[in-house]
Structure 1
């Protein structure tokens, strides 16, 4: 019976360890994705559109979206690319983004 209790405790401890590690990995991935999306929005806004709302910008965003979606999946739809750009516009200073991520973790 003692051995059975030890086995149960071991299994409980191992499950907790797996759950804790999964949560830590998920938090790290989420933080990395926030940085990625911010950087994509910033680069498009600054490099492609030169911080202007040029008419050609619409086509450029469509092309970027199509190429990224083809290679990396639906996370890079035109709608999401525009949200990334908006995110980078609203939070133009990366220190604000980094501070918010620390609070969310």
Structure 2
């Protein structure tokens, strides 16, 4: 996951109006100073997933956030991409991010290309960060 993430809880149970819900993973990011709720979904991202994670974020903000912390962030990891839905729902404005996770390795050529692209993005990010410092 990267530097700064600390594990807080798995399957965190929360109660809202007498109903119980479970946040798949609850993390804390030390540098960002905020909780991160992570939801794991099979299949494509659905509009209902936005409402679910927003509900969790507002609950965390109301019941768990400590003084000096920033508002929580939500991450929805899906097994299939749904870029247009994510774009149309304007999730960035809600502090929610969606990403795809893979459930099986792709063919070697595709895997190598994705790995190469990820390394290049990381290098570009590192270079731009050095310019800012």
TM-score of the pair, normalised by structure 2: 0.28
Q: Point out the structure with max Rg over C-alpha.
A: 1
Normalised TM-score (structure 1): 0.33
Counting strand residues as a fraction of each chain, which structure ranks higher?
A: 2
